[in-house]
Structure 1
């Protein structure tokens, strides 16, 4: 290899390393929020790389320009899930952080997708969903809620529930509209509301039960409130909203003409109580957008098939936004989704039994390690208090857990408008096979007990 070729290879490597390092910039590096993280942490390692890393062009040498992003998204940067997973891969850690199963979905659904591809279902589907999938969603919604809906006018198929959320926010929220969230919240909520120009107001759910402070919620709903965005079963806490809480939300919405965006992707993972869809409560269907997806229930998170159910006057805005976000969703996967939604009730019974066993393994193990473990009634997440191990905040603890223990968890402070409210909490996922869960517990037993502050 001659010198010119060697120099070119070095240049390419420098550009790749610069991109990788800058992509790891965490949530809080570009936020006015601060927390006492040691200077050796992932934050300080990446902060200086954004605009000062020199890049040598083949013909000229110049300083790389700062990354450019619209102000409404400036503070969000790379998601915490990506950061923790990349760091976990680097250190060979067991990933109990990101919420995806490490096992595959049912064969009968995969075979339906293969058959759809062979049958030539490979071109654009109808923008708001293949007719057979819209009908399957409407049928499932009827089974779950008792409500009869029109698949042609009240169901919109999207690229996962994340796009359903985005289409609902962008299609129904105007700049300046006030939207209430329950913190901790799934991180895409705040980012999507920021894109819509909404004014976000938060109600904090606090351990151990993460109950809704109903008096605080009542005081928060005003004539300025356009919508409430909620998630039950709740990510990251595993809380399920009780009937009393849902009826209180419904009463406030009806009284103040507020709409509800309800993310229910974990509706079939309800362990200690039955899931209640808020749209099924009296007077609520006409003001509710119910969002769901295939991925969590059928262990097919990579397929990104979701949907939004709403009355026609709300569906119009959702479909307008959806048309210009993705236009349509994967045609063969929609065909396979029909097979999934037609699964017998025995599938869901077995699903809950399997996940209940996985949760028991993780909860029991985390308690033995020394965590304070909070109840989880749904989803496949458990939230714990990490402070017995002597770390000042959740990011520092999770970095240590990855680098020194070999286990990935998710720091929850990024799920709050005020990160201080979540700095003592971390989230573990039990959507893994039993061997993986037990191996992670053994690693923590071996190394974390020694760090515990008594």
Structure 2
């Protein structure tokens, strides 16, 4: 005997209103990345806004994950991550930066870098603590600090070249400062901190109890023969740091949302207390697949030249345009000054550019809590050559 489906309209009308609540993040709506991607789709624009590749990863990587599934690696892994993958991460860090992390007690696999940063903040920040952030910054930092009960203290990077201003950072430090977040290579500006700047930071923090969260998700995208200055290279910084990197960024699989954190054992002990309750563990077959794939270092060792070629193609294409190209030292972003093209603010210009020119970008003001008056926007060049060439042709028409 069949039963009629309930009338959803009548059912909805009978449900009372939800209880009122006080938002934890009352000022937060959908991100600018989602908004610009939706606008790009609506207008058939080339999407150079959101930072993800439009090309496939190495087929060997999903094949390794598939093999792990067929081998029945489909149940919960250990909470900190599959031992083979943690050992592979420790080996990579030792080979590149000279420090030997204990893979058992000092490395944890996370569900993406955003989760890693939030978990670190939840582990160490208490109500009333201050966390120094350098603006412009990735848009999750400030909400993460707020969710942890802390207060963000925003320090601007030097306008124009976006380098750290250590006098301003020092002036922002108080007895309530619990942590500082840094990001190199930097999103959105594509600047890369130098060894001298890392040493200056080490001098600044020496003798304090300030912790450091070092967002290094673009570590393998440093150009023109420069070296990534990981916190792992500097013992005084390393001893107080959570180092965050991303398999998704490195291996062109951003949708997998898998990353790792490396930290001294005492810090990692606190990190894992939170990690086990907000995620517990991360996709098992992907961890086994990544561990096997990492036995060959060539994919990440070749990444600087791979992305430098894309950067150079994009910059050459815009060299004679009306955009002023800012330096792009690392990451897969290129910022441009559009001041000679339009008097619109950067958000309005990005919307106009998407509708009228058919190319989507991200306004620099999205990376500041209080916005920015700079006529600067960010493009992502992690795209196929034909995608970049199509965007270049449209942008040169301005």
Assess same fold via TM > 0.5: yes
Q: In the aligned structure 1, how far is the partner of 2:12 from the partner of 2:303?
A: 59
Residue of 134, 156, 181 corresponding to 2:108: 156
* Superposed displacement of residue 61, structure 1: 6.7
Match of 1:41 in 2: none
User: Are the aligned partners of 1:94 and 1:440 in contact in 2 as well (CA < 8 Å)?
Assistant: yes
SS of 1:239's equivalent in the other structure is coil
Q: In the aligned structure 2, how far is the partner of 1:70 from the partner of 1:395?
A: 29
* Superposed displacement of residue 258, structure 1: 0.9
Which consecutive unaligned segments of at least 5 residues does structure 2 have? 1-6
Q: Does 1:292 align with 2:245?
A: yes
* Superposed displacement of residue 189, structure 1: 0.8
| Number of residue-to-residue matches in the alignment | 392
Q: Does 1:242 align with 2:172?
A: no
User: Which 4+ runs in 1 deviate beyond 4 A?
Assistant: 59-62, 64-70
* Superposed displacement of residue 442, structure 1: 0.8
Q: CA RMSD in A?
A: 2.2
SS of 1:200's equivalent in the other structure is strand
User: Are the aligned partners of 1:295 and 1:303 in contact in 2 as well (CA < 8 Å)?
Assistant: yes
* Superposed displacement of residue 305, structure 1: 1.4
Q: In the aligned structure 2, how far is the partner of 1:359 from the partner of 1:73?
A: 36
SS of 2:340's equivalent in the other structure is helix
Q: Does 1:125 align with 2:83?
A: no
Q: TM-score, normalised by structure 2?
A: 0.93
Residue of 324, 332, 341 corresponding to 2:285: 332
User: Are the aligned partners of 1:223 and 1:256 in contact in 2 as well (CA < 8 Å)?
Assistant: no
Task: Give 1 or 2: higher helix fraction.
Answer: 1
Which consecutive unaligned segments of at least 5 residues does structure 1 have? 1-7, 13-56, 450-454
Q: Does 1:382 align with 2:334?
A: yes
Residue of 384, 387, 391 corresponding to 1:440: 391
* Superposed displacement of residue 234, structure 1: 0.5
Q: In the aligned structure 2, how far is the partner of 1:441 from the partner of 1:217?
A: 38
* Superposed displacement of residue 256, structure 1: 2.0
Q: Does 1:360 align with 2:276?
A: no
Match of 1:194 in 2: 146
**Which stretch of structure 1 is more off in the superposition, 178-187 or 272-281?**
272-281
* Superposed displacement of residue 414, structure 1: 1.7
SS of 1:116's equivalent in the other structure is helix
* Superposed displacement of residue 70, structure 1: 4.7
Residue of 206, 209, 212 corresponding to 1:254: 206
Q: Does 1:135 align with 2:87?
A: yes
User: Are the aligned partners of 1:250 and 1:278 in contact in 2 as well (CA < 8 Å)?
Assistant: no
Q: In the aligned structure 2, how far is the partner of 1:123 from the partner of 1:131?
A: 15
Match of 2:175 in 1: 223
* Superposed displacement of residue 322, structure 1: 0.9
Question: 1:68/1:109 Cα in 2 relative to 1: closer, same or farther (>3 Å)?
Answer: farther
Question: 1:341/1:90 Cα in 2 relative to 1: closer, same or farther (>3 Å)?
Answer: same
Match of 1:181 in 2: 133
Q: Does 1:373 align with 2:336?
A: no
* Superposed displacement of residue 342, structure 1: 2.2
Residue of 366, 375, 392 corresponding to 1:424: 375
Q: Deviations over 1:95-149 (max 9, x none)?
A: 1011110011112212110100110001111111011111111111111221111
User: Are the aligned partners of 2:251 and 2:299 in contact in 1 as well (CA < 8 Å)?
Assistant: no
Q: Deviations over 1:48-69 (max 9, x none)?
A: xxxxxxxxx447879x979977
* Superposed displacement of residue 400, structure 1: 0.6
* Superposed displacement of residue 152, structure 1: 0.9
User: Are the aligned partners of 1:207 and 1:374 in contact in 2 as well (CA < 8 Å)?
Assistant: no
**Which stretch of structure 1 is more off in the superposition, 142-151 or 262-271?**
142-151
Equivalent positions of 1:67-82 (< 5 A) are: 70-82=22-34
